[in-house]
Amino acid sequence: MRQHRLWLRPASGPTTQPWREPRAISAPQSLASLATLGRNRALVYAFPSMPRQKKFKIALVQMACGADLDANLRQAIEGIGEAACQGARIVCLPELFRSPYFCQREDASLFDLAERVPGPSTNALARAARKSRVVVIAPVFERRAPGVYHNSAAVLGPTGKLIGLYRKMHIPDDPGYYEKFYFTPGDLGFHAFDTPAGRIAPLICWDQWYPEAARLVALEGASVIFYPTAIGWHPSEKRRFGITQRDAWRTVQRGHAISNGVYVAVVNRVGVEKARPSDAGIEFWGSSFVADPQGVVVARASADREEILIGEVDLSRLEDVRRNWPFWRDRRIDAYTGLTRRLLDAPSDGGEKQ
């Protein structure tokens, strides 16, 4: 029978009072039965975590998303199983993978796609996580309340437990990406979550252009930032701007890895999706990748094929890179107050600030 540790400390008194030695308890014991240990003690129940390794594999499920919602879910679950068979400990799915990218048009009936968290998608993926003993980052169109919907990502642990929830903070509104019609901006902030493999943070698509988001989750200790994504070309723009657009997308995220000394993992969908048959649609450019703390792309997927992309994370690299590139040491946290303002206005006379 597995043993867990129960730490005891007085329920009141100075915070400096030391913890008592741990007592081993068997897994089936409930917290209620532990009340007999004394009314004057506070109980902290610490579940054992899997031993953390310096190196572990992560997987990105690059997939096409069709009109059959259940088929998309089955494909995602199959991808989780395949990734686990290849040794991955954390698996990330693309943004809004359960359906075609519906934000290409404004249609109130599409709010019917949203679901609760926990709900059908997260429950099914929690079972897959538990079966394969992996962490799953599960993007979902979240129905929080009537008229309040979020573009979210649930972090599911290897026991199927919901470890954390992130709600997309930056919401775009561009031709073919009418997300402000559907999504309420997130209100949970930017956070990292503990997993058996290490501390990670999910951000979502449009968040990838904002260095503040990456910095905040890195400050909370994230060793890997995951970006579930749905991004592509408008076909009419691809020839003229396509290479530049995708290169900028890749470059800015490699920059987050470099400036924060972390791994960045980005998963995208592939294929052409149209809101209506007569529309030009969006050609999603795939190109999922993993970058290390020096911005080196250590794994890269194709632009047009479904793939399970495997990348290795080496936590010792974080220490080594940050020692040699001590950006964190030299941060002027006393001088960044302007970042909390929308704009730093120029002098009223129109001249330049000195």
- If DSSP codes are grouped into helix, strand and coil, which group holds residue 74? helix
pTM exceeds 0.95? no
When the candidates are 3.40.50.2300, 3.40.50.970, 2.60.420.10, 3.60.110.10, the CATH number that belongs to 58-324 is 3.60.110.10
Active site residue 205: yes
CB atoms within 10 A of CB 95: 24
Annotated catalytic residue: which of 57, 92, 103, 168?
168
DSSP state, 119? Answer: S
Q: Average model confidence (pLDDT) for the chain?
A: 87
Active site residue 168: yes
Annotated catalytic residue: which of 65, 95, 273, 307?
95
* In the chain, beta strands by DSSP E: 3-10, 23-26, 41-46, 55-62, 88-92, 135-145, 148-156, 162-167, 193-194, 199-202, 224-228, 232-233, 263-267, 270-273, 282-285, 289-291, 297-300, 307-314
Summarize pLDDT for 330-340 with one digit per residue, the tens.
999 999 999 99
Active site residue 180: no
Q: Provide the pLDDT confidence category of residue 22 given band limits of 50, 70 and 90.
A: very low
Summarize pLDDT for 201-222 with one digit per residue, the tens.
999 999 999 999 999 999 999 9
CB 273 within 8 A of CB 265: no
Burial class (CB in 10 A: 0-12, 13-18, 19+), 295: middle
Contacts of 349 (CB under 8 A, 6+ apart): none
Domains of the chain, by residue range, sit at 3-46, 58-324
Annotated catalytic residue: which of 65, 92, 103, 205?
205
Question: Residue 244: phi, psi to the nearest 5?
Answer: -65, -45
Check whether 162 has a pLDDT greater than 60. Answer: yes
CB 273 within 8 A of CB 63: no
Q: Can you give the pLDDT at residue 348? A: 59
Summarize pLDDT for 244-270 with one digit per residue, the tens.
999 999 999 999 999 999 999 999 999
